[in-house]
Chain A
Amino acid sequence: MRRTLGIAALVLALPLAAAAETKTITLPPDHPYGDLKPGPGVEVAQRACRSCHSTDYIVMQPRGDAKQWEAVVTKMIKVFGASISDEDAKAVVRYLSTVYGR
């Protein structure tokens, strides 16, 4: 009986030994500090931007006019391949240049 328990303990220990070869971490969710401020178009902006990055990336940027934000949205589409319709892109630029405008 004692021997059986010993073997059982050994068998149980094996996956643990293997597990030591794997390192895994769990990342926390997006932080509320990065939440977009309310405003017309905020839902579109959240949907368009959050699929690739957290919106703290937006709230930390210097405020800017429509030209700045249009360049940013265009870069996200052309360089980073963000899948955003023309209509949504316009709405996002409008939202950003209003709520995070100069």
Chain B
Amino acid sequence: MTRSHRRDFLRAVGGLGTFAVSAGLLWRAPRASAQQGDPILAGRPLVRYPEKTDLILLTARPTQLETPMSYFDGAITPNEAFFVRYHTFPVPTSVDLGTWRLRVSGLVDRPLELSLDDLKSKFAKAAVTAVTQCSGNSRGRFAPRVLGGEWGDGAMGNAEWVGARLRDILATAGVRQGAVQATFEGLDKPAFPSVPHFVKSLDIRRIVEDPDVIVAYQMNGRELPMLNGFPARLVVPGWYATYWVKNLSEISVIDHVFEKFWMKPAYRIPDTPCGCVEPGTAPKSTVPITRMTVRSFIGAPPGGARVVAGRSVTLKGIAFDGGYGVREVQVSDDEGVTWRRAQLGPDLGRYSFREWSAVWTPAAGEHTLMVRALNAIGESQGYEPVWNPAGYLRNIVERITVQAG
């Protein structure tokens, strides 16, 4: 966010009080679902996969499922509603804990083969509530359009993750001099050897300095669904989901920067301050995508809903950023001319969705509701979308339309 963005944000809020927060939920879902009114999601079926509830199908092979927006009226995304994104097919469908091991190898003194019991019993238990969001969440909204997984806005979710700290695991293995990065690989192995395996890497420094990077075996108090990474996945708070390797099975410590397909050329953004370029143009150079931009959404009422004119409605939603924490959320019902501060819900930590709510009393007619967030270092959201060829980093001020009558 630019400085001027921040000034605008602060100026708009000056002198405005907090909304009252005590109205009932008074809306009816639109006759046609929000999905049908959505240019990107229209026509996509709701499907029910194993351990999952009804989710929006993006692709069947590899499995990619999107969370409907109605789940984003609260801070925790239920496991069964959590989005799914795999890169290659087949995806893992069976894990035998009797034989599954997390192997740690490479530049280490003591290579490890850890069972799930080892992970649970030999390392201190660490918990972090954190958002994971696909780099390409909302790619379908890009203009000009870009090729790729044409997500709506539901390739994101927030959960309490419990597991072993990655730095504790690496300390047990004993990282040797000269180590630069660790690579991470899951059980998903493409059918054809020509297809690049999904392998990601993190700097050793990032791992050692950050106690919140964990190998999680628990999600919202339960084991992970298979399609969200059973029995364990990497959790890299603040960074996009591409690093959160699912069904984790291999960690390798290496002496160089890993640059195979899924780190380069995939999952890279323009090497510019905004991670963006002029729409329709190619960047001169790129860097790996890492930290998430600030976003906020209205989860309720749903877009296209009908509400009762003259009666108060509680607007609810979530806001998040790349790990500095959400400081403030504002809503507008007049195309952004005036903004009012929303009430923030409980603080579940700087990596978590922050719930917000605001009571709003509509006059009769059609209304556009907008939301934007400000994080702890003054970053916010803009009216102009960022653009890059891969369709990453989207964080425009979101809007929905509701009818009051």
A residues in contact (CB < 8 Å) with B? 18, 21-31, 33-34, 52-54, 56-57, 60-62, 64, 68, 72, 79-83
Contacts and interface: CB of A to CB of B under 8 A. Distances in A.
Contacts of A22: 94-98
Contacts of A57: 59
A25 B226 contact: yes
A53 to B, nearest CB: 5
B310 interface: no
B147 A30 contact: no
Contact of B45 (A23, A27, A31, A68): A31
Contact of A56 (B58, B97, B146): B58
Nearest to B231: A23
B147 A72 contact: yes
Nearest to B97: A21
A100 to B, nearest CB: 12
B46 to A, nearest CB: 10
Nearest to B98: A21
Chief secondary structure at chain A's binding surface: loop
Given A33-B44, A56-B58, A60-B58, A81 B97 contact: no
Contact of A30 (B43, B60, B93, B191): B60
Given A26-B50, A52-B191, A79-B261, A31 B147 contact: no
Contacts of A68: 147
Contacts of B95: 22-24
Given A33-B44, A57-B59, A60-B150, A27 B49 contact: yes
Interface stretch (B106-114, B192-200, B323-331): B192-200
10 contacts: A21-B97, A25-B93, A28-B60, A53-B61, A54-B60, A61-B150, A68-B147, A80-B196, A81-B194, A81-B195
A73 to B, nearest CB: 12
Q: Sort chain B's interface into a size bin.
A: 35 or more
Contacts of A60: 44, 58-59, 140, 149-150
A23 to B, nearest CB: 5
B51 interface: yes
A18 B191 CA distance: 28
Given A28-B47, A60-B59, 14 more contacts: A23-B95, A24-B95, A25-B49, A25-B226, A26-B50, A27-B50, A27-B93, A30-B61, A56-B60, A61-B150, A62-B150, A80-B196, A82-B194, A83-B192
Given A22-B97, A26-B93, A61 B60 contact: no
Contacts of A29: 60
B282 to A, nearest CB: 13
Contacts of B51: 25
Interface string B80-116: 0000000001010111111000000000000000000
B230 to A, nearest CB: 6
B232 to A, nearest CB: 12
Contacts of B227: 25
Contacts of B195: 52, 80-81
Interface string B237-248: 000000000000
Given A18-B98, A52-B191, A81-B192, A34 B60 contact: yes
